[in-house]
């Protein structure tokens, strides 16, 4: 159900930004690993929510940025595989610099009316 | 038909965050210290709150908002100890959001309350992403869940201000590598304190002390800011 409420939050935001007379055909979302979102599940939830909003067929693109840690001892920055990875200097203490973002990057739209060319 | 990309770059949880900020202003104006209690189903959240109301009810005016998918069972358990209890049913929702908390506040008189504890829906994942306007996030684990739960749910551990390990009375009966659990928490969040409790045996003094020191501190602070 997590993914459904996230898809609904996305829809709230898109409603505010969708230019008039435009069809939504795709969205791009950047979700850091801290939010525990499974892209496949979000896609399923998005299909349901976007159809309810009248945007059926719109494509969801998920970007999963890596964690980024900064070592509390030596200051080194790196992208760990898991958030609990130790620094190469041996220190287990690191601050999270990235991996918690949750951003609607962009939406893809096309004109709802056919322009006579 | 021509399609084009419209850049947005906006936080998806913006609406929730805006409402959480409003809640936070309401809490600060009323001088209430607010805790968001997050843990898996059955970790002992409601049991801890029952004990808290029994032990601290005479010193602190405590309110509770308790979220569950269905039933008023937790709300009824807590209502035996305090009249400032609001049960929220989330249906299929797996977490409380700031809007639900905002509506629940209509049923509480915050000027009568020093400490508000929000028992979130039993879930270690989703509640982490939704701010409610709280001062502190508290993550609760229990021995019967296994010693790997902190490591498997790093997101809760890194965002918590305080961590609790409940059901310490079960340690003799269940394989649970306590040093390893402590170490996982240390690695993920060196700033968060870990309190080891057994609510069933009334062993929760560190938690009570933590609540007293935090809610008093905050109240004093709010008096100072009101005078200015
Ligand atoms: N052995 C033991 N059992 C406990 C302890 N604390 C709570 N329990 C038991 O754990 C079970 C679940 O406790 P609750 O307080 O309802 O747990 P909860 O986290 O509120 O559960 P949900 O609201 O359903 O997510 C109950 O049977 C409690 O009696 C403890 O310290 N030790
Ligand atoms: Mg409960
Ligand atoms: Zn969920
Ligand atoms: Zn280092």
Q: Do A6 and B6 touch (CB under 8 A)?
A: no
pTM tops 0.90: no
Sign of CA dihedral B131, B137, B142, B147: positive
Q: What is the pLDDT of residue B227?
A: 37
Cα–Cα–Cα angle for B96, B8, A37, rounded to 5 degrees: 40
pLDDT digits (tens, 9 = 90+) for B127-179: 998 999 999 999 999 999 999 999 989 889 999 999 999 999 999 999 999 99
| Residue in B12, B152, B181, B183 to test binding to A, most A beta-carbons within 10 Å | B12
CB of B47 sitting under 6 A from ligand 1: yes
Q: What is the pLDDT of residue A53?
A: 94
| Spatial CA neighbour of A40 closest among A15, A64, A9 | A64
CA pair distance A99, A86, nearest whole angstrom: 16
| Spatial CA neighbour of B126 closest among B93, B171, B154 | B93
Distances (CA, A) of B82 to A6, A72, B29, B119, B223: 34, 44, 23, 15, 25
Mean per-residue pLDDT over chain A, rounded: 88
Domain boundaries, chain A: 3-67+98-111
CB pairs < 8 Å spanning A and B: 104
Mean pLDDT for B181-197 is: 93
User: Which atom in ligand 1 lies closest to the alpha carbon of residue B203?
Assistant: 31
| Phi and psi angles of residue A59, each rounded to the nearest 5 degrees, phi first | -90, 135
Going along chain B from its start, the domains and CATH numbers come out as 13-214 (3.40.50.300)
Sign of CA dihedral A79, B182, B138, B168: positive
CA pair distance A62, A56, nearest whole angstrom: 17
Q: Would you say B198 and B166 are in contact if contact means Cβ atoms under 8 Å apart?
A: yes
Q: What is the pLDDT of residue B121?
A: 96
Alpha helices (H) in A39-81, listed in sequence order = 39-52
What is the distance in A from the centroid of ligand 4 to the CA of B190? 15
What is the distance in A from the centroid of ligand 2 to the CA of B147? 21
Pairing state between β B62-68 and B33-39: unpaired
Confidence of residue A113 (pLDDT cuts 50, 70, 90): low
Nearest neighbour of B8 by CB, restricted to A2, A17, A35: A17
Q: Do A102 and B11 touch (CB under 8 A)?
A: yes
Q: Do B5 and A106 touch (CB under 8 A)?
A: yes
pLDDT of B220 over the 60 cut:
no
pLDDT digits (tens, 9 = 90+) for B75-109: 999 999 999 999 999 887 889 999 999 999 999 99
User: Beta strands of A5-116 (E only): which ranges?
Assistant: 22-31, 59-63, 68-71, 77-78, 94-98, 102-111
What class is the A3-67+98-111 domain?
A: alpha beta
Burial of B224 from C-beta contacts in 10 A (0-12 / 13-18 / 19+): exposed
**What SS3 state is found at B20?**
helix
Q: Do B94 and A105 touch (CB under 8 A)?
A: no
Q: Would you say B117 and B162 are in contact if contact means Cβ atoms under 8 Å apart?
A: no
- Closest ligand to B96 CA? 3
What is the distance in A from the centroid of ligand 4 to the CA of A102? 27
CB of B56 sitting under 6 A from ligand 1: no
Question: If you search the block for the tokens 């951003």, which residue do you land on?
Answer: A103
pLDDT digits (tens, 9 = 90+) for A93-112: 888 898 888 899 999 999 87
């Amino acid at each position: 159900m997590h993914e459904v409420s996230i898809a609904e939050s996305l829809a709230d935001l898109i409603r505010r930004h969708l230019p008039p007379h435009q069809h939504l055909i795709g969205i791009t979302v950047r979700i850091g690993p801290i939010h525990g979102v499974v892209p496949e599940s979000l896609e399923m939830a998005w299909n349901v929510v976007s159809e309810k909003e009248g945007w059926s067929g719109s494509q969801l693109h998920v970007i999963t940025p890596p964690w980024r840690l900064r070592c509390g001892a030596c200051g080194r920055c790196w992208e760990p595989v898991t958030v609990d990875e130790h620094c190469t200097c041996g220190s287990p203490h690191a601050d999270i610099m990235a991996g918690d973002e949750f951003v609607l990057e962009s939406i893809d739209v096309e004109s709802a009316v056919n322009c006579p060319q | 038909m021509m399609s084009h990309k419209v850049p947005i770059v906006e936080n998806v949880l913006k609406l929730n965050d805006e409402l959480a900020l409003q809640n936070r202003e309401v809490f600060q104006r009323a001088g209430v210290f607010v805790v968001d209690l997050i843990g898996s189903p059955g970790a002992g959240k409601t049991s801890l709150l029952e004990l808290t109301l029994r032990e601290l009810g005479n010193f602190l005016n405590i309110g509770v908002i308790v979220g569950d998918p269905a039933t008023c069972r937790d709300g009824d358990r807590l209502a035996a100890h305090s009249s400032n209890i609001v049960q929220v049913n989330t249906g299929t929702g797996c977490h409380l959001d700031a809007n639900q908390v905002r509506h629940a506040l209509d049923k509480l008189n915050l000027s009568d309350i020093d400490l508000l504890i929000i028992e979130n829906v039993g879930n270690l994942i989703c509640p982490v992403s939704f701010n409610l306007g709280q001062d502190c996030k508290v993550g609760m684990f229990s021995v019967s869940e296994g010693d790997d739960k902190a490591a498997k749910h790093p997101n809760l551990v890194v965002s918590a201000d305080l961590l609790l390990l409940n059901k310490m009375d079960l340690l003799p009966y269940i394989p649970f590598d306590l040093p390893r659990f402590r170490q996982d928490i240390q690695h993920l969040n060196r700033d968060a304190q870990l309190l080891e409790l057994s609510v069933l045996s009334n062993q929760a003094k560190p938690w009570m002390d933590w609540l007293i020191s935090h809610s008093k501190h905050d109240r004093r602070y709010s008096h100072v800011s009101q005078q200015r």
